[in-house]
Structure 1
């Protein structure tokens, strides 16, 4: 221990910062009183709140040593569904964390129709007030004193807000507008938000004043109901957006349109509206992901073959209404649901992105007749119109361990040999042009859908098959090896480090 103190101060700091598990930090702080401040600063760097009682304990800990609050950089308030009592203290504490860089909060009773009367938007409004202060909005607009909130969110660069999604109780665009107007946030992830039209002149003026001025680089809109104007306004604010993920719960301007609309005027308008909104970021967008909720009954009436024919007939119509993604020179990664109308842009060379590296196709079902039988022709049609060097096929979350999908012969739902041959046919058609990966979520439990709340585990994706490794082995060994499983590879769907962060300090 004395040898540690002989080191230069900056090296001692580096040693402490390299310790990332809480028990070791506690033991280190208890071993030597001189190391207590350094170890404690690391302990309070990340805070994870599970219920209202934890908020009280955190408040008491900060009251005992006020310096602790300056050490907090990351905070998650994600209680259990029955642990909300006392959570209303959280915004007041957050307002005092002037060095906070990352914040994740959840609204109570998310994805639950039970006890709907308990819902309260009070605490969420207080978070918005903190953003208003950070955005420089006069206190008169807030209707409450702002002295206690001065300096709040001045360092905040990442914010995640998971809303409830109960019936029609979405947050409105206007109610969470302060988030999108922030000049410090580089990462925003919100769920269950109604991105509607502008309703007041003040609302329009506030957006106009920040147009092209925010620092936002990554935006995730998860299970949001978006109208064309709402999406247009949101995407007008960032100076240079790099990553965008849209998981839409409803089509823009259209309620629950079925797949029979693919290739029709409604679907074409839907694609045109999205492209028009995206064009504001055409010079900077590098990664775009777009999926949407589907009617499960209607989707079962459409095979991949039918969808392929509908996309082929719609591309000519789309040319007259939109340039598609052909003006997105920086776009390198594109992920689309194979049944989404937006996917039509990759079936036409005049609509597809010019410099694409990775193409992801999500929502691949396990049903052979509806999906796998036609998958090679589907991919070939895309490859003839869009250039890419890496194809990622995202299979739907599997109800069993995916190791068995291609191996078992007892389960007739997964005809191992037929699916394997279709996948290898895709690989062969792209040989020399692009590598192919098959990706799926493994160990899927229950029927949970995003947003993942109440500490629900995020489905862990893994690469099941990688043609590049298979081809390398063929070249090295001079023979065709059997279908092999690739090692585990974690992904978050955006090509970035996972934003599902778990803090080290638990109260």
Structure 2
């Protein structure tokens, strides 16, 4: 009995089961017409155009058998830029016309190869006037009146669309005829970047409440309330909205340039009111926080009910200067069922260094009273943008002793109002990366460095600060004598961990710890260790992805730094012999972290001048000084996450070394 003797329904199911076995499907497709039709539905279901070199093959396949075009369900146009890309226009246009027949297309991602400041190269103008124009025509057809709409035309089933493009002579592009984006009848998820909305969009007047859009993301866009009002009238039930204004691309914009939404709060709120019945999450990235001298947290009451009619709105993420923040300050105008409120501080760029009005959330938190008045609020989150190639990503900066204590006391006050506080690092791979984040670029990752629920507010407070050692946990971990073997060090650390666990269990059984807003010194050490480890893991993952994608920096200085890291094994500010290994075994850190030949070489960029002077005091060895200077020169701009994590990331090992060097823990709490 052959495969074709089975009922057609079973044959289809067998082919579906082989959907991911492309080579098998290609072999089956050559056996008969029935199997060819069924196999090619999977073979051509997803097309990834990473290079213009791929166009020749796919065009030939489509021309030999046009039915294959109707099989495409996912299309990713992500051509990589090359010097001769302008010569590929003809092939690109031959492929682009196929969009009109992609009737099964549901997911479409398109990205200009001329983005990232290359739009003025040869071919950038043609992308806008030819490629993008063909895309617009294909999107326009499903938007025709239903009497003229055929179900088998291209893009008539489109559900998700991402467009990253640019203008003919600028980094931003005018909406123009792309108002069809907001008229498409089946599109549910739309993400568009670097677009300039016109003063008005009368073309959308006939589409009120007619589209299926549930998620809309504006990314680094120039928005204005009137055009936004037109757009937000079109969806039947928009649930998720991101108003990402132009924050990180301060280059000249094409006219007309509209005012920011926060400067026209009444009109902006009127536009938002059209989705008040359905909106569940709202995000606003406001460029005004970068303006020197502008107060980021201030109360400026606005008239009206604010967001009181947004009954389904449960999540908000905004910059502190956003007009939406005013409705939180005036709690009677806040959403009645808001559960999670996230305050977002963007990434500081080079041109922000001298702007003293910019607040670092790791150093200063806003007044908490406005948030405690929100009866429905369950979680208050703070997000600080940080690049992993800057010193701000150091755990010593993020979790300095004073900052952690103040943060915990702040969270305790929120806890008494039934609100849990969280703090995140929004880790960006490099300061040179700007949104929108394109294909193969490292997208930011949120790293939780404080969660009040996890830390807790019940503990016995003891005087466990190492007063007999130099100030600061960094020097506790560094200014030690490496006079014990690695195995003995690890044995002691494990033994101490077990004793701590036994003592803690005994203490819990004896009495419930009291509620307090204070932390013990070793709690701070633990928090710093955990955040350092989390940041280091993200750093390593992003570094691996960067290597895989071949995204080396074009900047000569960055190249030099990468070379230094490879040759000298500079890992997060330390010169470590041997390969970086973030993995632990069940008994604690890898043994080589405690080898006697592993030297900690602190640079003043990591600890500050005063600490380094104290640490280096009394060193007269000229060879060591020369080595320190050579190391500092090799370090260059490689800051990155905290180095102390990699050498002594074990909380117990840190305490063990402290005891070995004279620290006396409180009686009955930590003993050998």
**TM-score greater than 0.5 by the shorter chain:** yes
Tell me the SS of whatever aligns to 2:18: helix
The offset of 1:460, in angstroms, is 3.0
Are 1:63 and 2:68 an aligned pair?
no
Q: Cα gap change, 1:81/1:339 in structure 2, threshold over 3 Å: closer, same or farther?
A: farther
Q: Distance in 1 between matches of 2:140 and 2:324?
A: 35
Equivalence for 1:396: 385
Q: Distance in 2 between matches of 1:187 and 1:47?
A: 20
Q: Distance in 1 between matches of 2:167 and 2:142?
A: 27
Q: Distance in 2 between matches of 1:97 and 1:152?
A: 4
Q: Distance in 1 between matches of 2:68 and 2:169?
A: 41
Are 1:132 and 2:125 an aligned pair?
no
Q: Deviations over 1:83-138 (max 9, x none)?
A: 46343333212222110001111235224166356313222111111122111269
Are 1:359 and 2:341 an aligned pair?
yes
The offset of 1:175, in angstroms, is 2.1
Match of 1:193 among 162, 184, 195: 195
The answer (yes or no) to whether the contact 1:110–1:165 under 8 Å persists in 2 is: no
Bigger relative contact order, structure 1 or 2 (CA pairs below 8 A, ≥6 apart): 1
Match of 2:442 among 457, 464, 468: 457
Equivalence for 1:104: 109
Tell me the SS of whatever aligns to 2:104: coil
Higher strand share: 1
The offset of 1:327, in angstroms, is 1.2
The answer (yes or no) to whether the contact 1:245–1:290 under 8 Å persists in 2 is: yes
Are 1:421 and 2:405 an aligned pair?
yes
Greater displacement, 267-276 / 465-474: 465-474
Equivalent residue runs for 1:400-415 within 5 Å: 400=389, 405-406=394-395, 408=396
Q: Distance in 2 between matches of 1:352 and 1:75?
A: 41
Are 1:95 and 2:100 an aligned pair?
yes
Tell me the SS of whatever aligns to 1:208: helix
The offset of 1:382, in angstroms, is 2.4
Ranges in structure 1 where 5+ consecutive residues have no aligned partner: 141-145, 258-265, 490-507
The offset of 1:434, in angstroms, is 2.5
Backbone CA RMSD of aligned residues:
4.1
Tell me the SS of whatever aligns to 1:94: helix
How many residues get paired? Answer: 445
Q: Cα gap change, 1:43/1:291 in structure 2, threshold over 3 Å: closer, same or farther?
A: same
The answer (yes or no) to whether the contact 1:286–1:331 under 8 Å persists in 2 is: yes
Equivalence for 1:263: none
Q: Deviations over 1:138-180 (max 9, x none)?
A: 999xxxxx99x96111111111111226875633333211111
Bigger CA radius of gyration = 2
Q: Deviations over 1:361-409 (max 9, x none)?
A: 1116799993347744433432334641122222103234999632x3x
Q: Distance in 2 between matches of 1:166 and 1:439?
A: 38
The answer (yes or no) to whether the contact 1:401–1:444 under 8 Å persists in 2 is: no
The offset of 1:40, in angstroms, is 4.9
Q: Distance in 2 between matches of 1:268 and 1:339?
A: 8
Match of 1:344 among 304, 326, 338: 326
Q: Deviations over 1:64-100 (max 9, x none)?
A: 4444333311111122233463433332122221100
The answer (yes or no) to whether the contact 2:165–2:173 under 8 Å persists in 1 is: yes
Q: Deviations over 1:412-469 (max 9, x none)?
A: x656223322332332222252223322333612412111235323223333333333
Equivalent residue runs for 1:157-172 within 5 Å: 157-164=159-166, 170-172=172-174
The answer (yes or no) to whether the contact 2:12–2:38 under 8 Å persists in 1 is: no
Q: Cα gap change, 1:40/1:464 in structure 2, threshold over 3 Å: closer, same or farther?
A: farther
Length-normalised TM-score, structure 1 = 0.75
Equivalence for 1:174: 176
